[in-house]
Amino acid sequence: MVSLPQGFPAGASVPDIVVELGEVFARAGHELSLVGGPVRDLFLGRSSPDLDFTTEATPDQITAAVEGWADAQWDIGRAFGTIGIRRGQHTLEVTTYRSEAYDAASRKPVVQFGESLEEDLLRRDFTVNAMALRLPSFELVDPHGGVRDLHAGVLRTPATAQESFSDDPLRMMRAARFAAQLGLRVAPEVREAMSDMADRLRIVSAERIQAELVKLICGADPRAGIDVMVETGLADIVLPEIPALKLTDDEHRRHKDVYQHSLQVMEQAAELETDADGPVPGPDFVLRFAALMHDVGKPKTRRFEPGGGVSFRHHDVVGAKLTRKRMQALKFDKESIRATSLLVELHMRFYGYGGQGWSDSAVRRYVTDAGDQLERLHRLTRSDVTTRNRKKANRLSHAYDDLEARISELQEKEELAKIRPHLNGEQIMQLLEIPPGPLVGRAYKFLLEHRMEHGPLEEAEAEHLLRQWAEDHL
């Protein structure tokens, strides 16, 4: 690591590879600057996972400059001016100065190469990302007051917000994301432009929006990011199920609305994440997003009862369907969709047994239905308790403690995660002397139900049970 000179925060440094690359470009007669997030993070005391550079050199000149120095190089997007470089363990990106904008009816930016670093910085999303470190001299270039805005904790744009968001509407999502990740307050004029231009987000691909949403949800303060999305109208386009919660009263009037309750559940779920060695390492997008979406079925299932109460029957099932549909629209992978929607569907399961005590049968079904999402379900269910009634909160917490104890107790005896029927399909066909077909499936289901209700049997007992069943079904 190379320490930075006076004028930078104490202890600020950059990897040796940054200086090496600057010297390579200087020898080739080209400018090079470290730019964007890595420079911003120097002032935040954060380590940046990416090293991004900008230069006046064209893509062909970039490849020529690093020839013989780089272990490998490739086009990340030559049309966008970006070349990827690998040197040892480092992967770097170098991009030609540029400006870009979206056509009003297009999802793809129109790219034009620029001629100066200042011009390149002007087209960047926010002032805190419009700073550069010239290499190898370490001269800070900050024409738009990025350091000032970082110290003030405010998010502004180098050009007008309208120009910035016209260039790339995804920047509106980034504003919400930076509120969640960095704790920055979105400037009033930026919020106003986001509200006015939110509909422009429709031209951005679902994949790009998804990437920003994941970073937001996994940020240090996802609640702040969701609030920005809802207050500016971005959520009406990206996650319309969330602002809809503001119109649905909580059935116990404990919260201002179900929206606030959902944000609190998401915060509490994040607090229950584990370290890297635990069962739910944080930040965990699936757990947090399931917590945010767990009550999205309430608006469609709200019913006013004769006594003045409000009910939301089956909102868990409806919410799971809505969650699945929204995640599909945002092009999430199948596993994330399955896991998240399953958690939403099961988040009320605990309350169906809470006052009855946990029979062995109920425990088996709970664990089997949760499958590989059991640890996340534990955390989601505990997080869903937001009552201010301390006595009630303690009672629910103790009830869930009891459930987890019952799961551990049965787990030791029966390997709950691997519950199968007493006999497999081949044994069923052999014992009943029947070919493959629907009858085998019905016998299999009968044995699985018996296993759930009564626990494991010895093989001889299971065979006797199956023969008894077959007398009424063959």
| Same domain? 113 vs 243 | no
Average pLDDT, stretch 304-327?
Answer: 91
The closest of 377, 434, 369, 430 to 400, measured between CA atoms, is: 377
Cα torsion 387, 391, 395, 398: sign: positive
- What is the per-residue pLDDT across 193-205, written as a single tens digit (0 to 9) for each? 999 999 999 999 9
- Phi and psi at 312, nearest 5°, equal -135, 55
- Phi and psi at 91, nearest 5°, equal -115, 125
User: What is the spatial distance between Cα 400 and Cα 131, in angstroms, rounded to a whole number?
Assistant: 50
Average pLDDT, stretch 320-342?
Answer: 98
In a domain, 391, yes or no: yes
| Same domain? 267 vs 388 | yes
Amino acid symbol at 176: A
Question: Three-class SS of residue 473?
Answer: helix
Q: Which domain holds residue 289?
A: 239-414
| Same domain? 12 vs 114 | yes
Q: 139 - beta bridge partners?
A: 134
Reading across the β-sheet that carries 82-87, which strands appear in turn?
72-77, 82-87, 90-96, 52-55, 33-35, 132-134, 139-141
In a domain, 343, yes or no: yes
User: What is the spatial distance between Cα 468 and Cα 88, in angstroms, rounded to a whole number?
Assistant: 69
Distance from first CA to last CA of the chain, Å, rounded? 77
- Phi and psi at 457, nearest 5°, equal -125, 155
383, 414, 445 — which closes off a domain?
A: 414
Block residue for tokens 């009943």: 432
| Same domain? 280 vs 389 | yes
SS3 content of the chain, % helix, strand, coil (to 5): 55, 10, 30
Most confident of 5-9, 119-123, 445-449, 457-461: 119-123
152, 185, 209 — which closes off a domain?
A: 152
pLDDT, residue 254, reads 47
| Same domain? 98 vs 26 | yes
| Same domain? 251 vs 278 | yes
Q: In CATH, what number is assigned to the domain containing residue 390?
A: 1.10.3210
Question: Three-class SS of residue 154?
Answer: strand
| Same domain? 351 vs 454 | no
Query: Is 70 exceeded by the pLDDT of residue 147?
Result: yes
In a domain, 222, yes or no: no
- What is the per-residue pLDDT across 385-444, written as a single tens digit (0 to 9) for each? 987 778 888 888 888 888 888 888 777 765 655 566 667 788 888 888 888 888 888 887
Beta-carbon contacts of 425 under 8 Å, excluding residues fewer than 6 positions away, are 436, 440, 444
pLDDT, residue 154, reads 98
In a domain, 111, yes or no: yes
User: What is the spatial distance between Cα 319 and Cα 298, in angstroms, rounded to a whole number?
Assistant: 7
| Same domain? 388 vs 456 | no
| Same domain? 407 vs 436 | no
| Same domain? 135 vs 245 | no
Reading the block at residue 20, the tokens are 């090496």
Residue 307, CA atoms < 13 Å, CB-side half-sphere: 3
| Same domain? 265 vs 385 | yes
pLDDT, residue 227, reads 98
- How does DSSP classify residue 309? -
Length of the chain: 474
Q: In CATH, what number is assigned to the domain containing residue 68?
A: 3.30.460.10
Other CB atoms within 10 A of residue 452 CB: 17
In a domain, 221, yes or no: no
- Supply the pTM of this predicted model: 0.84
Reading the block at residue 43, the tokens are 């002032």
379, 398, 414 — which closes off a domain?
A: 414
Residue pair 85/91 in contact by the 8 Å Cβ criterion: yes
In a domain, 178, yes or no: no
Number of compact structural domains in the chain: 3
Question: Three-class SS of residue 72?
Answer: strand
- Which pLDDT band holds residue 255 (cuts at 50, 70, 90)? very low
Cα separation values, 372 from 168, 279, 376, 387, Å? 39, 11, 9, 29
- What is the per-residue pLDDT across 445-472, written as a single tens digit (0 to 9) for each? 777 777 777 777 777 877 887 788 888 7
In a domain, 332, yes or no: yes
In a domain, 409, yes or no: yes
| Same domain? 347 vs 442 | no
User: What is the spatial distance between Cα 130 and Cα 37, in angstroms, rounded to a whole number?
Assistant: 9
pLDDT, residue 403, reads 87
Q: 53 - beta bridge partners?
A: 34, 94
Alpha helices (H) along 45-97: 59-66
